[in-house]
Structure formats: C-alpha cells, structure tokens
Amino acid sequence: MKSYIPKTKDDINAINELQKYSFLEIQEDVKILLEWMQDMHWDVAIGIVKYFKNYIIEIEKEIIEILNSNDEEWKYNVLHFLIKDFQEKKLPKKLKEEIQRMAFSPNLSEIEEELDILSKEILQFTAGEQK
C-alpha cells in the first residue's frame, strides 16, 4: 500500500505524506482517498478535503460518482466540505448539472438528508460565477 493512503481513520502520517505528492502522482488513487470522506469524524477526512479542495475540476468524475451513490452522508460531506465554498472557478458543467438534479429533482433520501437544500445553496452561491 502507498504511504499516502490512510490505513486507519486516524492515520495522520498518511495525510502528511499525501501533502508531499502532486495531484499527477496520486491521481490513480483519487477514489480510494475520497472514500475517507465518508465520515468527517475520522481524523484523516479533513486532510483529504484540504488536499482535494484545489482539484475539483480534476476530480469531477469521481465526485459525480459519489453524488450518484446511495451514501447520503458521503454526498453531504462532498457537497458541504469540498463543493460549497468552491468560489474561485466555475463549477464544471457535468458537476453543476448533477447538483441541479439534486436541488430540483432529488430522490426521497436526498430530501430526507436535506441535500436538495444544500444543493440549492451551492447553486445560489455560484450563480454569479456561472453567468
């Protein structure tokens, strides 16, 4: 296993290692690393967020896969911690479309977890960026 992939929920050494690598060096492990965002109570989760915050465009496909999953907590974590304050660039087109789907045509579990509300907040926030 690679030194930058956490082995346990409190493997801060792996997160420290991750910071040493460029995105190109770890891009084949994006899915594995994003799995550590399934629970933001895990010590490694915030480190993963901090690493990927500047790579939203590069990880759009993986984010969309998460938003199409049945894991509502994981969806919330990705929307709230990665996407919500993505201020400096426009949301990638397909990602924006998926957030619009969650905002205006959410499934029942997305409504129960208020992902539709969070999605609308994100769309409102980025509205000025999207024109």
**Tell me: the pLDDT tens digits for 58-70?**
999 999 999 999 9
For 111, the token pair is 């409504």
- What is the pLDDT, as a whole number, of residue 3? 97
For 37, the token pair is 């965002």
Q: Using the 8-state DSSP alphabet, how is residue 87 labeled?
A: -
94 pLDDT higher than 70: yes
Boundaries of CATH 1.25.40.750 in the chain?
Answer: 1-55
- What is the pLDDT, as a whole number, of residue 130? 44
Q: Using the 8-state DSSP alphabet, how is residue 91 labeled?
A: P
For 76, the token pair is 């919330």
Q: Specify the CATH superfamily of domain 1-55.
A: Domain of unknown function DUF5071 (1.25.40.750)
127 pLDDT higher than 70: no
- What is the pLDDT, as a whole number, of residue 118? 96
- What is the pLDDT, as a whole number, of residue 88? 54
With CA atoms as reference, report the closest residue to 64 among 88, 91, 24: 91
Cα 65 from chain centroid (whole Å): 10
Evaluate if pTM is beyond 0.85: yes
How far, in Å, CA of 63 to CA of 98, rounded? Answer: 10
